[in-house]
Amino acid sequence: MNSRTNILVLNRNESILEVILRLINNHENWYGVGQSELDNLAHLMNKGHFELVLIGSGFSPAEEQEIVKTSNELNPGIKIVHHWGGGSGLLTNEILAALEGVKGGNYEISY
């Protein structure tokens, strides 16, 4: 039996966030939690054990840097995926590539 992978999804567009969460939560071994604002990111990161952060659209470069910094400080080694669309197949493949550590993916792993 595989353990569940907790994924934090951040996206400013709430309707897109809702769709991404539905797709993630339809996967048997994934559990997605979403947020459109960053004001309590540290609290949320401390509350749940996330293996992956999915950064979507609507954040400034400075906000994205803050997401990465906060994620790494609170969970060293967390996988961070940047996803700006492209369909459910691409989303699934991006997440799987990050979780499996495939090189050349649209993600970063911080140590």
Residue 2 has pLDDT above 80, yes or no: no
Percent of the chain with pLDDT over 70: 84
Answer yes or no: are the C-beta atoms of 11 and 17 closer than 8 Å: yes
Report domain extents, the chain: 5-109
Which of 12-16, 56-60, 61-65, 87-91 bottoms out in mean pLDDT, i.e. has the lowest? Answer: 87-91
Angle between helices 14-25 and 88-100 (to 10 degrees): 60
Q: What is the DSSP string of 20-71?
A: HHHHHHTSTTEEEEEES--TTHHHHHHHS--SEEEE-SS--HHHHHHHHHHH
Residue 107 has pLDDT above 60, yes or no: no
CA distances from 12 to 1, 57, 65 (A): 34, 6, 15
Domain 5-109: which topology? Rossmann fold (3.40.50)
- pLDDT tens-digit series, residues 45-84: 888 789 999 999 999 999 999 999 999 899 888 899 987 6
**CA R_g for the chain:** 13
Q: How confident is the model at residue 87 (pLDDT cuts 50, 70, 90)?
A: low
pTM (2 d.p.): 0.85
